[in-house]
């Protein structure tokens, strides 16, 4: 767990990208509201992050991701977060 939510790590093997780690995790408001929500990054709570959702649910949201994390608005369809076995 991270900040009382389950976190996820991408386990898919992609040739040429073996050293890249991807985590999906929740960060609470301990560092301010602008950092609270679900994140994609290379480690839990790390400084290299790629996407953020302002959602505060127990599970990562399917839609509503900003890419990059500090983009001025969400671009619909740019990132969809699907649970394993949902498709």
pLDDT digits 0-9 by tens, 27-61: 999 999 989 999 999 999 999 999 999 999 999 99
- pLDDT higher than 90, residue 83: no
Per-residue confidence (pLDDT) for residue 11, from 0 to 100: 85
Q: What is the dihedral of CA 56, 59, 62, 68, to 10 degrees?
A: 60
Residue 31 phi/psi, 5-degree rounding, is -105, 15
The mean pLDDT of the chain is 90
Residue 29 phi/psi, 5-degree rounding, is -90, 15
């Amino acid at each position: 767990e991270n900040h009382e939510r389950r976190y996820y790590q991408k386990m898919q093997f992609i040739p040429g990208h073996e050293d890249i780690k991807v985590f999906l995790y929740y960060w609470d408001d301990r560092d301010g509201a602008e950092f609270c929500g679900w994140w994609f990054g290379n480690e839990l709570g790390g400084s290299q992050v790629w996407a953020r959702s302002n959602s505060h649910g127990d599970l990562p949201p399917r839609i509503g991701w900003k890419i990059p994390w500090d983009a001025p608005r969400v671009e619909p369809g740019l990132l969809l977060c699907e649970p394993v076995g949902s498709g």
